């Protein structure tokens, strides 16, 4: 554009100055929102973490006592909650991502009714969490639930398959349930797949590569940024799972689904230890940051960014 | 921009519910807020009692806050917002509120309204956070009760449960009756060698797996929640563990009690008895109110089975009065109104049982709430529930064990392993003994 | 040739089987919900189970509505939704315009902060916000649920709209600029009309997020007259926890509005996700 170039220097500076404050004006809601509802509370929460704030509003400064209580094991639930949540993350994240990727790959074939399938896969994600929990509580019922019925129908022995009522299977059950709402990821994958340039597949075919080679050398590298994006968001989301355990299992059996945020909620709202709950929340934040950083660090090894497509980045 | 903000603020203040505006009102009128939980019948009973209270005290208006679920969360929200009710129901968490100085010490304010005599309340009916500080006596009591569907006994040719404590079944007799009343889908009972425990149609017994379900049997076997001196955890004693194990054996050895998973498909106690899914139920006595709702349902009550000697207990919440109340006098009046059985007599004909000693000894008072052959009080009630509990009552751990809420939060997850058969009661209780001993701080009553 | 064709057919068969299985897995739970919601309690417990209720029991729905005032809760939720959706759409599009089009000092820093805040667990800010709102006297009102939406509407939405604005050729606003149009005019006359689909997406997302929110109403609303549909459903569960036919009917009641909105706006929603997903 040459328009700006022809203006005298002073007018250009005036425009820049004007744009400077107009920009701030437009962004003001977001800036204020960030200060009031994110940064401010974050600082407050960090501070509360060093106090014994209770619901009555009384507090005293207690240094690292909240953290010491957690890490020393004097708090009976911290390690348990952390371990259960980690199990859930390790199980549900790969299950969700692989399942979503498979469905997206299938949808990316020349199939009929593509948009119908897409809508169907997306549908469960809009169901309210409370309703999801109720539906699955019923589906997973060992005696009358649909899932055991179907398994029995195909001749399997479902004796002992107690799903959320057994501490060995409660985490796998909740992970399975999380796959149901994976439609959002599927749609994102599908969009990514449709953006893979056709000529790359053709080139691979011309070089004599089969379906596997096309997948391995074209699809996977080209999809790695999308995978990366989905991996990050799913990880962050899975660490914060709450309602399912709150509604379906109340953290049981034997605390086997005492998810981290549920533990935090109990600390804050049942035991009314607000200060300690803030410390617990900060530990979660640090864990999530660390895990996300780790994924970022490793991303150099496996995420392939297309050069020259700047407009899309 | 500023116009929009003003408009926004206007919208927001309109959205703010009228609750705030209500506090200002005509002079002399005192407005109280009363928060409580409980479903259908209880809400109705409490509402009626409050209406009566308002009639008797025309200058007091009571705003009713019925919070059926997540009560603590909601109450905490109100406290944090300086919007605490004046008077409310409470669970074991009230102790923390007392320590935080948010609620009145009942001992200090009781003399302001002597309409309820403290002498009439047994020692074990007080909620205390220290020897001299109390969150009040039980607002009413409940107790464990054995209820049954009489038709199922008659059809199976089994004698009805005894109603006198001295005739109580031994545990083995109880198990045998439960076996005779448990049927698989082919109609074989649990004593039949071909009985299919995977496909049970009718269970002989179902009981609460919470502390109030198994604690009578721990007591009966000579166990206690804490050791006698209050110095250590008591449920890992051989007597206590044995009693708990025997409850678990009902599920896993005799298959006469539903597993935790199967329980989730059973309707509530009253419906389960009525729809013949369960023949006997050991549950809180509040269930009598539900059972009373259906006419011509042939149900009854019996005494609990025993191990060594007959033991049971009363438990209950108390009404707490927040220090933020603007009128302590009126709040106390409301408190004393509701805890007096005479004012809430309808609730005491099913849902509750009185917490005042005189209501168990004075025949005139007994006739007011425990008259037999009424919908909530079947034949045998006075022996099977009223006398047997009153004469053999031990302190309830809920209010008599210091730090009960936190101790119990460790006990019930550990018991999950016992109910599903993956641990013995002894192993489970031993496994949590150390963290619990760190919390144990004696008895208080 | 024929072998290739055969392989292709086999492959496509496999693809269709996968898709149909996936579709069945997505729909079966919803079908099971609807089925159970029309049955009596004893019908639900028949083994082997029936797929079609007979007779249809509409009374479960009447019962659900009579026990929990869902009508009222619909209205309550709708009130919150209107507040949240309008706030989100208005303020996030304003901010996104600033991030996509205008040059101002601190822009990149603020944008980075917003993106980073997506990583922040809600649990960290939950308690200070709760304490803060309560001290201001806004506990048990809709203010804590609605007002934050009027401050940018969330980093995710700003990000989504910014991406969309970036795809609109700059030449359009520059020529308008030359014609003497101010920033506000450009925003209103050029960008808003062109980004309508994206605004609808943001609206839909915030509608669904808000309708489905559980924790927010759970901690802020204490009077049952102010409850939302999710809380109503939770309350229902508390009262009828083993009466599955009624619980399923109540769940269906809570579910209907979102499904309707979804079918109206599904094309936009899916496009919207597509937009955010890959282009980060």
DSSP-derived pairing of the beta strands B278-284 and B200-207: parallel
DSSP code for A271: S
Structure confidence at residue A3 as a pLDDT band (50, 70, 90)? very low
The residue of A5, A40, A101, A128 whose CB has the most chain C CBs within 10 angstroms, and thus the best one to mutate to test that interface, is: A128
Nearest to A190 by CA among C13, C21, C19, C274: C274
The residue of B67, B75, B76, B427 whose CB has the most chain A CBs within 10 angstroms, and thus the best one to mutate to test that interface, is: B76
- Number of domains making up chain B: 2
pTM for the model stands at: 0.85
| One domain, residues B307 and B322 | no
Q: Is the ipTM of this complex over 0.85?
A: no
> What are the respective helix, strand and coil percentages of chain C, to the nearest 5?
80, 0, 20
| One domain, residues B212 and B270 | yes
pLDDT for the residue numbered C241: 66
pLDDT digits (tens, 9 = 90+) for A15-62: 778 888 888 889 999 999 999 999 999 999 999 999 998 877 788 999
- Taking CA–CA distances from A166, the nearest residue in chain B reads B420
Give the residue-averaged pLDDT of A154-164: 83
Give the residue-averaged pLDDT of A86-96: 96
| One domain, residues B322 and B296 | no
Chain B touched by C78 (CB under 8 Å): no
| One domain, residues B189 and B337 | no
> Are the beta carbons of C138 and B81 separated by less than 8 Å?
yes
pLDDT for the residue numbered C273: 67
Alpha carbons B438 and B436: distance in angstroms, whole number: 5
> Are the beta carbons of B67 and C242 separated by less than 8 Å?
no
| Closest residue to A26, CB basis, from C23, C44, C95 | C95
Is residue B266, in this structure, part of any structural domain at all?
yes
Give the residue-averaged pLDDT of A124-140: 88
Strands of the sheet containing B278-284, edge to edge, are B183-184, B200-207, B278-284, B144-149, B299-302
pLDDT for the residue numbered B14: 43
DSSP C104-150: -TTHHHHHHHHHHHTTS-HHHHHHHHHHHHHHTT-TTSSHHHHGGGG
Q: The tokens of C91 are what?
A: 């303020």
Residue B140 makes CB contacts below 8 A (sequence gap 6+) with B316, B339, B341, B344, B347, B348, B352, B353, B354, B355
> Are the beta carbons of A269 and B72 separated by less than 8 Å?
yes
Task: Give the count of beta carbons closer than 10 Å to the beta carbon of residue B2.
Answer: 6
- Taking CA–CA distances from A137, the nearest residue in chain B reads B264
Q: How far is B237 from chain C (nearest CA, A)?
A: 35
Cβ–Cβ < 8 Å for A89, A238: yes
- Taking CA–CA distances from C80, the nearest residue in chain B reads B15
Domain A82-304 belongs in CATH node 1.10.3720.10: yes
pLDDT for the residue numbered C275: 64
Q: Where are the domains of chain C?
A: 62-278
| One domain, residues B242 and B339 | no
DSSP B138-202: BSSBB-EEEEEEHHHHHHHT-PPPP-SGGGPPBHHHHHHHHHHT-EETTS-BTTSTT--TTSEEE
Alpha carbons B314 and B400: distance in angstroms, whole number: 11
Alpha carbons B352 and B289: distance in angstroms, whole number: 8
Q: Number of B to C CB contacts under 8 A, please give it.
A: 87
- Taking CA–CA distances from A141, the nearest residue in chain B reads B261
| Closest residue to B39, CB basis, from C221, C239, C243 | C239
Chain A touched by C212 (CB under 8 Å): yes
pLDDT for the residue numbered C190: 82
Q: Check whether A111 has a pLDDT greater than 50.
A: yes
Chain B touched by A57 (CB under 8 Å): yes
Which residue in this structure is represented by tokens 């678990």?
A: B248
CATH number assigned to the domain comprising residue B58: 3.40.190.10
The residue of C152, C164, C276 whose CB has the most chain A CBs within 10 angstroms, and thus the best one to mutate to test that interface, is: C152
Q: Where are the domains of chain A?
A: 1-34, 82-304
Could you tell me which residues are beta bridge partners of residue A193? none
pLDDT for the residue numbered C1: 54
Opening angle at CA C194, ends C188 and C196, nearest 5:
90
| One domain, residues B184 and B302 | yes
Alpha carbons C103 and A24: distance in angstroms, whole number: 9
pLDDT for the residue numbered B166: 94
What value does the mean pLDDT of chain A take?
Answer: 86
Task: Give the count of beta carbons closer than 10 Å to the beta carbon of residue B334.
Answer: 27
pLDDT for the residue numbered B169: 97
Opening angle at CA A214, ends A213 and A219, nearest 5:
125
C-alpha dist (Å) from residue C142 to B423, B424, C209, C230: 48, 50, 15, 15
Chain B touched by A300 (CB under 8 Å): no
Opening angle at CA B130, ends B124 and B131, nearest 5:
65
Who has greater pLDDT, A65 or A21?
A65
pLDDT for the residue numbered B134: 94
Q: Check whether A171 has a pLDDT greater than 90.
A: yes
DSSP code for A256: T
In tens digits, chain B (445 residues) has pLDDT values of: 445 545 544 444 444 443 344 444 445 789 999 999 887 678 888 899 999 999 999 999 999 888 877 788 888 878 877 788 999 999 888 988 998 899 999 999 988 888 777 788 888 899 999 999 999 999 999 999 999 999 999 999 999 999 999 999 999 999 999 999 999 988 999 999 999 998 898 999 999 989 999 999 999 999 999 999 999 999 999 999 999 999 999 999 999 999 988 887 787 888 889 889 999 999 999 999 888 877 788 999 999 999 999 999 999 999 999 999 999 999 999 999 999 999 989 899 999 999 999 999 999 999 999 999 898 999 999 999 999 999 999 999 999 999 998 899 899 999 999 998 999 999 999 999 999 999 999 999 8
Residue numbers in chain C where pLDDT is lower than 50: 278-280
Q: How far is C193 from chain A (nearest CA, A)?
A: 18
Q: Check whether A291 has a pLDDT greater than 70.
A: yes
The parent domain of residue B216 ranges over: 156-312+421-439
Who has greater pLDDT, A307 or A120?
A120
Is residue B350, in this structure, part of any structural domain at all?
yes
pLDDT for the residue numbered B23: 42
pLDDT digits (tens, 9 = 90+) for A35-44: 999 999 999 9
| One domain, residues B219 and B341 | no
Q: How far is B168 from chain C (nearest CA, A)?
A: 32
The tally of CA atoms less than 13 A away on the side-chain side of residue C265 is 24
| One domain, residues B175 and B296 | yes
Q: How far is B82 from chain C (nearest CA, A)?
A: 7
> Are the beta carbons of C242 and B81 separated by less than 8 Å?
no
Q: Is A196 left (phi over 0), alpha (psi -120 to 50) or beta?
A: beta
Chain B touched by C219 (CB under 8 Å): yes
- Taking CA–CA distances from B403, the nearest residue in chain A reads A271
Read off φ and ψ for residue A237, nearest 5 degrees. -65, -40
Q: Is A306 exposed, middle or buried (0-12, 13-18, 19+ CB in 10 A)?
A: middle
> Are the beta carbons of B72 and A270 separated by less than 8 Å?
yes
Domain C62-278 belongs in CATH node 3.30.750.24: no
DSSP-derived pairing of the beta strands B320-321 and B278-284: unpaired
């Amino acid at each position: 554009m040459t328009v700006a170039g022809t203006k005298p220097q002073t007018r250009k500076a005036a425009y820049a100055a004007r744009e400077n404050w107009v920009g701030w004006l437009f962004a003001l809601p977001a800036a204020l929102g960030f200060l009031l509802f994110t940064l401010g509370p974050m600082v407050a929460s960090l501070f509360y973490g060093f106090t014994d704030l209770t619901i009555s509003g009384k507090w005293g400064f207690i240094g690292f006592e909240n953290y010491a209580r957690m890490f020393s094991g004097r708090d009976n639930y911290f390690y348990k909650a952390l371990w259960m949540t980690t199990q859930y993350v390790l199980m549900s994240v790969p299950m969700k991502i692989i399942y979503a990727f498979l469905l997206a790959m299938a949808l990316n074939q020349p199939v009929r009714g593509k948009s119908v399938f897409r809508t169907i896969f997306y549908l469960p994600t809009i169901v309210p969490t409370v309703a999801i929990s109720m539906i699955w509580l019923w589906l997973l019922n060992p005696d009358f639930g649909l899932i055991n019925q179907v398994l029995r129908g195909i001749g399997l022995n479902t004796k002992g398959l107690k799903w959320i009522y057994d501490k060995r299977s409660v985490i796998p059950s909740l992970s399975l349930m999380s796959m149901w709402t994976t439609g959002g990821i599927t749609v994102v994958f599908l969009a990514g797949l449709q953006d893979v340039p056709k000529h790359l597949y053709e080139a691979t075919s011309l070089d004599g590569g089969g379906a596997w080679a096309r997948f391995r050398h074209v699809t996977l590298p080209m999809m790695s940024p999308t995978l990366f994006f989905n991996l990050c968001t799913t990880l962050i989301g899975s660490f914060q799972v709450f309602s399912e355990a709150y509604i379906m299992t109340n953290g049981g059996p034997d605390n086997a689904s005492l998810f981290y945020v549920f533990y935090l909620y109990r600390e804050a709202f049942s035991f009314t230890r607000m200060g300690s709950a803030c410390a617990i929340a900060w530990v979660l934040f640090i864990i999530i940051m660390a895990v996300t950083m780790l994924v970022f660090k490793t991303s150099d090894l496996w995420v392939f960014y297309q050069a020259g497509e700047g407009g899309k980045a | 921009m500023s116009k929009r903000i003003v408009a926004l603020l206007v919208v927001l203040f309109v959205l703010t519910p009228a609750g705030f505006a209500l506090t200002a009102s005509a002079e002399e009128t005192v407005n109280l807020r009363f928060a409580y939980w409980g479903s259908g019948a209880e809400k109705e009973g409490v509402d009626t009692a409050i209406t009566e209270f308002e009639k008797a005290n025309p200058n007091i208006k009571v705003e009713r806050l019925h919070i059926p679920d997540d009560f603590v969360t909601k109450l905490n929200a109100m406290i944090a917002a300086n919007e605490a009710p004046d008077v409310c129901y409470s669970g074991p968490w009230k102790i923390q509120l007392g320590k935080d100085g948010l609620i009145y010490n009942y001992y200090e304010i009781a003399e302001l309204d002597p309409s309820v005599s403290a002498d009439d309340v047994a020692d074990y009916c007080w909620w205390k956070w220290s020897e001299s500080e109390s969150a009040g006596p039980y607002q009413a009591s409940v107790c464990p009760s054995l209820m049954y569907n009489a038709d199922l006994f008659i059809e199976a040719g089994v004698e009805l449960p005894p109603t006198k404590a001295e005739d109580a079944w031994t545990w083995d007799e109880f198990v045998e009756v439960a076996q005779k009343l448990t049927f698989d889908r082919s109609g074989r009972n649990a004593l039949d060698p071909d009985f299919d425990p995977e496909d049970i149609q009718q269970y002989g017994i179902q009981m609460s797996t919470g502390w109030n379900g198994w604690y009578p049997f721990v007591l009966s076997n000579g166990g206690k929640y804490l050791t006698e001196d209050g110095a250590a955890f008591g449920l890992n004693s051989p007597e206590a563990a044995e009693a708990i194990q025997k409850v678990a054996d009902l599920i896993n050895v005799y298959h006469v009690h539903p597993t935790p998973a199967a329980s989730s498909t059973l309707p509530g106690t009253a419906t389960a008895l009525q729809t013949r899914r369960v023949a006997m139920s050991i549950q809180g006595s509040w269930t009598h109110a539900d059972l009373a709702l259906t006419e011509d349902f042939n149900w009854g009550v019996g005494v609990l089975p025993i191990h060594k000697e007959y033991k049971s207990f009363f438990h209950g919440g108390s009404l707490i009065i927040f220090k933020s109340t603007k009128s302590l006098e009126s709040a106390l009046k409301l408190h004393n109104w509701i805890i007096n059985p005479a004012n809430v007599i309808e609730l005491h004909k099913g849902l509750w049982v009185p917490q005042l000693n005189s209501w168990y000894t004075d025949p005139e008072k007994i006739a007011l709430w425990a008259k037999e052959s009424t919908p909530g009080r079947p034949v045998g009630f006075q022996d099977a529930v009223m006398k047997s509990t009153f004469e053999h009552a031990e302190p309830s751990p809920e209010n008599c064990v210091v730090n009960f809420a936190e101790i119990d939060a460790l006990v019930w997850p550990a018991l999950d392993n016992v109910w599903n058969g993956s641990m013995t009661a002894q192993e489970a209780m031993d496994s949590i003994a150390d963290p619990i001993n760190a919390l144990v701080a004696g008895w208080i009553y | 040739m024929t072998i290739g064709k055969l392989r292709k057919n086999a492959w496509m068969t496999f693809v269709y089987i996968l898709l149909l299985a996936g579709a069945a897995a997505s729909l079966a739970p919803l079908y099971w919900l609807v089925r159970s919601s029309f049955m009596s309690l004893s019908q639900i417990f028949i083994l082997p189970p029936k797929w079609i209720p007979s007779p249809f029991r509409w009374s479960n729905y009447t019962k659900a509505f009579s026990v929990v005032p869902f009508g009222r809760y619909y209205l309550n939720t709708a009130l919150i939704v209107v507040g949240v959706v309008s706030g989100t759409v208005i303020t996030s599009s304003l901010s996104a315009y600033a991030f996509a089009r205008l040059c101002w000092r601190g822009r990149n820093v603020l944008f980075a902060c917003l993106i980073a805040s997506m990583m922040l667990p809600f649990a960290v800010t939950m308690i200070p916000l709760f304490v803060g709102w309560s001290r201001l006297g806004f506990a048990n009102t809709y203010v804590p649920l609605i007002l934050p939406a009027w401050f940018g509407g969330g980093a995710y939405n700003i990000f989504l709209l910014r991406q969309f604005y970036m795809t609109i050729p700059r030449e359009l606003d520059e020529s308008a600029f030359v014609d003497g149009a101010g920033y506000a005019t450009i925003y209103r006359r050029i960008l808003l009309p062109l980004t309508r689909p994206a605004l609808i997406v943001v609206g839909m997302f915030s509608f669904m997020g808000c309708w489905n929110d559980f924790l927010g109403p759970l901690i802020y609303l204490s009077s049952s007259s102010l409850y939302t549909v999710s809380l109503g459903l939770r309350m229902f569960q508390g009262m009828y926890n083993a009466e599955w036919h009624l619980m399923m009917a109540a769940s269906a009641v809570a579910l209907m509005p979102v499904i309707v909105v979804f079918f109206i706006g599904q094309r936009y929603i899916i496009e919207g996700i597509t937009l955010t997903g890959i282009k980060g």
